[in-house]
Structure 1
Amino acid sequence: MNRFLWIKNLVLAGVMAVAPCAYATGDASPNVPGKWHGSMQTASGTFALELTIQQDEHGTLSAALESVDQAPGQFIHVSRVEQEKDQLKLELDTLSASYAGHFDAKKDAWIGNWQQGPVLPLTWLRGPLPPQPAIDGIDGIWRATLTRNASELRLILRISTSTRGTRAKLDSPDMGIAGLDVTDLSRDGEHVHFRVPLAGVDFVGKLDDNTTSLSGLWRREGQPQATINFTRSAESAHTSMQRPQTPHAPFEYAVESVRFDNTAANILLASTLTLPRGAGPFPAAVLISGSGPQDRDESLSGHKPFVVLADHLTRNGIAVLRFDDRGVGESGGNFTAAADLDFASDVRAAVDFLGTRREINRNAIGLIGHSQGGIVGPIAAVNNPSIAYLVLLAAPATSMTELLLAQRRLTGVMQGQTEASLRANEPALAKIYAAMGKAPDRAAAQAEIRALLTSKLLQQLGSSETQKSALVDQLSSDWLRDLLHYDPIAILGAINIPILALNGSLDNQVPASTNLAAIRRATSNNPDVTAQQLPGLNHLFQNAHSGAIAEYAEISETFAPTALRLIGDWINARFSR
């Protein structure tokens, strides 16, 4: 589900827009304006950050954040900067993230925690990020294939040089991994060496005369060494993939930026409403994004799936409302403090808003929920006569423990592991999930998980003691504990409106066959349910190679036309004018 990706990579990208935040510093306060640098350890690696704080002539502070490893040269607006003597607070609304720390005069550093779902320690050291050595002649994207247990695993090595020196990251699309730290990168003539610490990998290779091929030994602890060949592609390490389906103005329909109230939560939600040409009234759909703090476009891996979906539906006579999650973009509220019931409340407010528009057929307003949005949608639809239909896109319908274990099993088999070895660890994992579901609060959940994550289990899970703290934070998050309480069978069984449920056959996050079977069982008393598996599509409904998360960005297609047509035709067959 999208939140798994969001937490794993903590993607930091955006456009700098400095806004003031008024406060006055006291004489005893440390001098905060200037550049600060730090690094954040997550389950997938260490990410280097640089924070620039400015102060105007009135003493007003503003700041911008750069993730050097993930989005070099792009800056994220810090919404609020507050300093009270030796305390520093940062809030980033676009990421639903915050930082709180205290100043350590001896270290000349801010010591604190970054919160964006999980809580991660983060220390800001004074000054810009120290540069790494610059290495000539090897920048670019290098691709290779590693064979393990008769499975071919694609590897992508991204090397780029800037004023900060040469940096590298490793992706493994078939393992669902992106952005692993590459360290100790060096070149001595034709010889190149690097390490990938989190994967226990050491590589020593030799460049060809044209520096377009790098062949050498791939050594990983506990596995036989392999000879692999990296080939440099023509694209640069930061080349953006083309997204040919993303529509551009002028549009064939009306586009309105609108805001609506969730009076129950006392927040204002920002949205885009697209209306077909003509007088109406039109059937309408509210789009509900997947997990993690999502904008109205469900922006992910360079794609905007909800823009493409809204464009198709509106061109085919269906009005669409899509909105920024609470606490994200232009919407008010607090994302990190919200649970599924809160998000369902936002959806009901969106439906109520559409009911006030003369262009909309009040008897034909439905919900389209993707991934975790397919959990929120059914919750919002129960006992709500204003909702006429439900479209579930990769919406979980098995028990959440079963889903999490199935995800791990699918990914492991893709990596060349045997299903038997994967199942051997499942009883211990099931205990962890059970502890999460039963714990009265997050602190209790963390204590239970910490005790269960023994060194042996960490090793079996492909993790280590250095990653244990980050893993405990992720597993004990409020949203995941909330997810484990969800009962899809009971919720779906209580819904009697038309339902369309779709899954891609290459969905490695919500496995199609077991999920669709669970939906059919849960809705057996509903006379209008279509549950269909779409061949070759992944969790984002792209035509895919393997279905791995890291593959999303590599695919130029945003949303398979076959899926788009199916959704639009199904709605129009029941609610067209």
Structure 2
Amino acid sequence: MKHLSFLFTLLLLGAGSHLYAQKKLTGTWQANVGSDARPLRLIFHFTEANGTITGTMDSPDQGSTGLPIKEIKRNKDSILVDMSDIHIQYTGLLASNDSIAGQWHQAGRSMAIPFKKMDDAAPSSKVSDAPVKHLTSDDLTAQKKLIGHWQGNINLGKRLPLTFHFVEENGKIKGTVDSPDQGAMGLQVKEVIVDKDSLLIDMSNLGIQYTGVLISADSIDGEWHQAGSTYSVPLKRTATPLELKRPQTPKPPFNYQSEDVTFTNKDHSITYAGTITIPNGKGPFPAAVLITGSGPENRDEEVFGHKPFAVIADQLTKHGYVVLRVDDRGTGKTTGIYHGATTADFAKDVNAHLDYLKSRKEVNDKKMGLIGHSEGGIIAPIVASERKDVDFIVMLAGVGIPTTKGMELQNVAVMKKKGLTEVLADQYGFLYYGAVMAINASKDSATARQKITEAVKQWQLKAEPGILDGLDMRGPEAVTESTDLFLQMYNDPWFHYFLSINPTVYLEKLSCKVLALNGEKDIQVVSQPNLDGIRASLAKSKTKNYEVRELAGLNHLFQTCNTCSVEEYRVIEETFAPIALQTMTEWLDKNVK
């Protein structure tokens, strides 16, 4: 089961901390996310000084130690470990003095990773105990040869492009590195040392070193050292550094007004930060709030350099609509804490966004609406079902069936896309559905463990031997491991609440206008079952003005896709298919303006 564990927590798309007296966070915490054959340990070191918690992280099996933690936030037993400098965030719940249940967020994906308290004296494993020769020189001529952009490729089973950027500051060379195919841009180089034509690029903060020789003005022959392995990575100078091509991302000057704004909810507990775009000309204008998908998202719902909400806002504002897009709570410039919040809390946030939109003189408050993507497509009908001032909603990859069934279909589709046979993927779907239904039937963690264990055992008894072998699900160890993984869903406040949602309840209460769009190739919100559910629910609602459409060839992000896997999101240059923008705009022009 180890090789399938990441599927348990695939989500729907799109500082210092004050101490809390009940449970102690300081110390050393370890998680094991690999297999016995390929271990992968993650270690947090948290210390406290003057009421503030700081820390570092090690990944000793990847040769990384002392990775910087930008900020640690704590609200009672909820914690957020911000490593955005290396494009990672960990959100968790301090379940006991020696246990953290949490989610690891990286490159648009999330995984449930629990941490256990270690002996504080436990070693952290350094990148290398071997001495490193540090080259030294005052030879500015040699340094200046290095200034500029350098590109190469590292072969780790597949070709990964890399780009180094070097500049001179106060007589010293500073640098960053990009790995665009991994969505990692601007990673800081700790030190650049040049001695004549030899160089050492120290990225020990990332567990990496690069050593090379400048063999010409435009060529470096060098090696990449990481996790005890060495890879040949020659570099070539380039005038145009490799970057993620995102041609749809709007760039100023805009032919409309764009204003960064802040506002609070009613009790002033959260200050929201966002961007409002306003058409030129005489208002008031129809207006929409954009609602992000699951996971901590910024106002542009940015993933792999794509900024779909910036693209949508640009399109709609050019066509005469005010658009407000906002950083999620605890994300970007919005205050509050993300971890521990549920879909119901995010719906409260959207209510505050609507209230702010309504306060703007440029907005026609008789023509306000919501446009939600993925989880946002669940939140939009939740909010609209409770307010009379919502004129319309647009559901982008919205959910129209109970989330337990939706998540089963998602996991099955993703596993098939990753190469599992249809039979194995479907059988795993039965296991998944039984376990999440056990979660929904449980009132406490102990009961959840008992019910999940029983569900896994019952599935195991019914499964054919070939299924058990194909999914690595033989024996009591597989039952225990599976139960532990599913129990993480119960212990995660967001996931636990999410699994209890039945969108049909809210869809059937709607009286506003509705457009529902899903991509035919979406494997995260499988199109037809969800569109069928939305259509059936709206037929029972008070709304008489609704349209439900599937858009051919589009994935979950509404990109025109080829393989249509999650991994392809970053490869595709298109951010949001023109046909999806056109469909949404034409519907709004016809039904809202």
Both structures adopt the same fold (TM-score exceeding 0.5):
yes
Q: Does 1:328 align with 2:331?
A: yes
Q: Does 1:429 align with 2:432?
A: yes
By how many angstroms is 1:313 displaced? 1.5
Q: State how far apart, in whole Å, the 1-side matches of 2:78 and 2:439 are.
A: 32
Partner of 2:510: 495
Q: State how far apart, in whole Å, the 2-side matches of 1:305 and 1:5 are.
A: 25
Q: 1:252 to 1:266 in 2, by over 3 A?
A: same
Partner of 1:204: none
Partner of 2:580: 563
Tell me which moved more, 284-293 or 440-449. 440-449
Partner of 2:559: 542
- The answer as to whether partners of 2:72 and 2:79 remain within 8 angstroms in 1 is no
Q: Could you state the TM-score of these two structures normalised by the residue count of structure 1?
A: 0.68
Write the letter of the residue equivalent to 2:555.
Answer: N
Q: State how far apart, in whole Å, the 1-side matches of 2:451 and 2:552 are.
A: 41
5 Å-filtered alignment, 1:69-108, equals: 76-80=69-73, 91-92=81-82, 95=89, 97=91
By how many angstroms is 1:131 displaced? 3.6
SS of 1:139's equivalent in the other structure is strand
Q: 1:185 to 1:75 in 2, by over 3 A?
A: closer
Partner of 1:170: none
By how many angstroms is 1:471 displaced? 1.7
Partner of 2:357: 354
Partner of 1:120: 114
Q: State how far apart, in whole Å, the 2-side matches of 1:280 and 1:562 are.
A: 28
Q: State how far apart, in whole Å, the 1-side matches of 2:356 and 2:340 are.
A: 24
By how many angstroms is 1:262 displaced? 2.1
Q: Does 1:251 align with 2:254?
A: yes
Q: State how far apart, in whole Å, the 2-side matches of 1:554 and 1:411 are.
A: 18
Write the letter of the residue equivalent to 2:577.
Answer: A
- The answer as to whether partners of 2:517 and 2:550 remain within 8 angstroms in 1 is yes
Q: 1:338 to 1:443 in 2, by over 3 A?
A: farther
Partner of 1:475: 489
Write the letter of the residue equivalent to 1:519.
Answer: I
SS of 1:244's equivalent in the other structure is coil
Q: 1:257 to 1:405 in 2, by over 3 A?
A: same
5 Å-filtered alignment, 1:45-60, equals: none
Q: State how far apart, in whole Å, the 2-side matches of 1:448 and 1:575 are.
A: 49
Q: State how far apart, in whole Å, the 2-side matches of 1:60 and 1:484 are.
A: 35
By how many angstroms is 1:447 displaced? 3.9
- The answer as to whether partners of 2:256 and 2:280 remain within 8 angstroms in 1 is yes
Partner of 1:227: none
Q: Equivalent of 2:245, from 242, 247, 253?
A: 242
Q: 1:306 to 1:121 in 2, by over 3 A?
A: same
1:46-105: CA deviation from partner (whole Å, max 9, x where unpaired) = 76667688999x8976556688979999955214599xxxx99875497472586999xx
Q: State how far apart, in whole Å, the 2-side matches of 1:546 and 1:126 are.
A: 43
Q: Could you state the TM-score of these two structures normalised by the residue count of structure 2?
A: 0.66
- The answer as to whether partners of 2:8 and 2:485 remain within 8 angstroms in 1 is no
Identity %: 31
Q: State how far apart, in whole Å, the 2-side matches of 1:417 and 1:294 are.
A: 31
By how many angstroms is 1:297 displaced? 1.7
Write the letter of the residue equivalent to 2:588.
Answer: I
Q: State how far apart, in whole Å, the 1-side matches of 2:102 and 2:8 are.
A: 13
1:407-460: CA deviation from partner (whole Å, max 9, x where unpaired) = 233234334444344434444333212111111134432443245445958865
Q: Equivalent of 1:518, from 515, 527, 533?
A: 533
Q: State how far apart, in whole Å, the 2-side matches of 1:264 and 1:239 are.
A: 46
SS of 1:503's equivalent in the other structure is strand
Tell me which moved more, 314-323 or 362-371. 314-323
Q: Does 1:270 align with 2:273?
A: yes
Q: 1:126 to 1:22 in 2, by over 3 A?
A: farther
Partner of 2:545: 528
Q: State how far apart, in whole Å, the 2-side matches of 1:276 and 1:6 are.
A: 44
Q: State how far apart, in whole Å, the 2-side matches of 1:78 and 1:545 are.
A: 39
SS of 2:486's equivalent in the other structure is helix
Q: State how far apart, in whole Å, the 2-side matches of 1:31 and 1:436 are.
A: 31
Q: State how far apart, in whole Å, the 1-side matches of 2:73 and 2:566 are.
A: 33
By how many angstroms is 1:376 displaced? 0.9
Partner of 1:366: 369
Stretches of structure 2 lacking an aligned partner (at least 5 in a row): 1-5, 105-111, 133-151, 160-180, 184-200, 211-225
- The answer as to whether partners of 1:143 and 1:157 remain within 8 angstroms in 2 is no
By how many angstroms is 1:120 displaced? 0.9
- The answer as to whether partners of 1:264 and 1:345 remain within 8 angstroms in 2 is no
Number of aligned pairs?
473
SS of 1:383's equivalent in the other structure is coil
Partner of 2:321: 318
Q: State how far apart, in whole Å, the 1-side matches of 2:334 and 2:370 are.
A: 20
By how many angstroms is 1:286 displaced? 0.6
Write the letter of the residue equivalent to 2:102.
Answer: Q
Q: State how far apart, in whole Å, the 2-side matches of 1:274 and 1:6 are.
A: 38
Write the letter of the residue equivalent to 2:33.
Answer: Q
Q: Does 1:551 align with 2:568?
A: yes
Q: 1:473 to 1:328 in 2, by over 3 A?
A: farther
Partner of 1:219: none
Q: State how far apart, in whole Å, the 2-side matches of 1:274 and 1:403 are.
A: 34
Q: 1:471 to 1:308 in 2, by over 3 A?
A: same
- The answer as to whether partners of 1:42 and 1:467 remain within 8 angstroms in 2 is no
Write the letter of the residue equivalent to 1:41.
Answer: V
By how many angstroms is 1:280 displaced? 1.4
SS of 1:274's equivalent in the other structure is strand
Q: State how far apart, in whole Å, the 1-side matches of 2:91 and 2:423 are.
A: 39
Partner of 1:130: 127
Aligned Cα root-mean-square deviation (Å): 4.8
Q: State how far apart, in whole Å, the 1-side matches of 2:93 and 2:506 are.
A: 37
5 Å-filtered alignment, 1:169-248, equals: 241-248=244-251
By how many angstroms is 1:389 displaced? 0.3
By how many angstroms is 1:289 displaced? 0.8
SS of 2:114's equivalent in the other structure is strand
Q: State how far apart, in whole Å, the 2-side matches of 1:30 and 1:315 are.
A: 49
5 Å-filtered alignment, 1:334-483, equals: 334-454=337-457, 461=471, 465=478, 468=482, 471-476=485-490, 477-483=492-498
Q: State how far apart, in whole Å, the 2-side matches of 1:436 and 1:258 are.
A: 40
- The answer as to whether partners of 2:58 and 2:125 remain within 8 angstroms in 1 is no
Partner of 2:524: 509
